[in-house]
C-alpha cells in the first residue's frame, strides 16, 4: 500500500467518524431546560391570600431562581441537591392579570393568573384548610 493510499484511507476514516459523531449528537435527546413547569396552587386566586409557587429545576444547576410578579421581584430561592423543585409563597396585592415568572440566569418559565377581589371574610375566604397550609409535601 502506498503512502498516498494510506492518507486517503485515513482521511476517509476521519470523515466517516465525524459524520457518525455528528449524527449521534444531533439525534441525542436534548437536555431539559434549567427552570420550567411553573405552577401556582389554587384556582380562584384572591388579593391577600397566599399561594405556593413551584418550579422544576435541574439538580445539576444550582443557580438561584428568581420569582417575579408582573416584572416585580417577589423572592429568590436557591435550589437543593435533594430536590428537583423550588417553591415559595406568593401573596397578590392587586386584582387583575398577574404574569408570574421563575427565572434562572437567562432561562425562564411563566404563567398568567387572574386575581380577584379580596374575600369579605378576610383570610377565611381564602379557601384552603390543612391541605393549603401544609402544601404538597415536596421539598424545595
> Is residue 53 domain-shared with residue 101, that is, in the same domain?
yes
> Is residue 11 domain-shared with residue 78, that is, in the same domain?
no
Q: Which domain holds residue 50?
A: 35-120
**How confident is the model at residue 124, as a pLDDT?**
66
**How confident is the model at residue 125, as a pLDDT?**
72
Among 15-19, 43-47, 76-80, 88-92, the least confident range: 15-19
Contact predicate 109/100, CB 8 Å: no
> Is residue 51 domain-shared with residue 106, that is, in the same domain?
yes
> Is residue 49 domain-shared with residue 19, that is, in the same domain?
no
Q: How confident is the model at residue 25 (pLDDT cuts 50, 70, 90)?
A: very low
Distances (CA, A) of 115 to 72, 85, 128: 16, 24, 16
Three-class DSSP category at 47: coil
**How many domains is the chain partitioned into structurally?**
2
What residues form DSSP beta bridges with 40? 53
Contact predicate 91/48, CB 8 Å: yes
> Is residue 76 domain-shared with residue 108, that is, in the same domain?
yes
**DSSP assignment letter at 53:** E
pLDDT over 60 at 14, yes or no = no
In whole angstroms, give the CA distance from residue 91 to residue 43: 14
Strand extents, DSSP E, the chain = 35-40, 51-57, 65-69, 72-77, 85-90, 96-104, 107-115
Other residues' Cβ atoms within 10 Å of the Cβ of residue 88: 17
pLDDT tens for residues 26-70? Answer: 443 344 458 999 999 999 999 999 999 999 998 777 789 999 999
**How confident is the model at residue 36, as a pLDDT?**
93
**How confident is the model at residue 12, as a pLDDT?**
56
Tell me whether residue 139 is in a domain: no
- 9 vs 93, which has greater pLDDT? 93
**How confident is the model at residue 98, as a pLDDT?**
98
Other residues' Cβ atoms within 10 Å of the Cβ of residue 49: 22
Q: Residue holding cell 384552603?
A: 128
Quote the pTM value: 0.66
Average pLDDT value over all residues in the chain = 78
**How confident is the model at residue 16, as a pLDDT?**
55
**How confident is the model at residue 48, as a pLDDT?**
95
Amino acid at each position: 500500500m502506498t503512502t498516498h493510499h494510506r492518507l486517503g484511507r485515513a482521511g476517509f476514516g476521519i470523515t466517516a467518524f465525524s459524520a457518525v459523531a455528528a449524527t449521534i449528537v444531533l439525534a441525542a435527546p436534548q437536555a431539559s431546560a434549567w427552570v420550567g413547569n411553573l405552577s401556582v396552587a389554587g384556582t380562584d386566586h384572591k388579593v391577600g391570600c397566599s399561594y405556593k409557587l413551584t418550579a422544576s429545576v435541574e439538580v445539576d444547576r444550582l443557580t438561584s431562581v428568581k420569582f417575579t410578579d408582573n416584572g416585580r421581584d417577589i423572592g429568590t430561592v436557591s435550589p437543593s441537591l435533594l430536590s428537583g423543585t423550588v417553591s415559595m409563597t406568593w401573596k397578590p396585592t392587586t386584582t387583575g392579570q398577574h404574569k408570574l415568572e421563575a427565572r434562572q440566569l437567562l432561562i425562564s418559565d411563566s404563567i398568567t393568573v387572574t386575581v380577584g377581589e379580596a374575600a369579605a371574610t378576610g383570610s377565611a375566604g381564602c379557601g384552603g384548610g390543612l391541605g393549603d397550609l401544609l402544601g404538597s409535601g415536596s421539598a424545595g
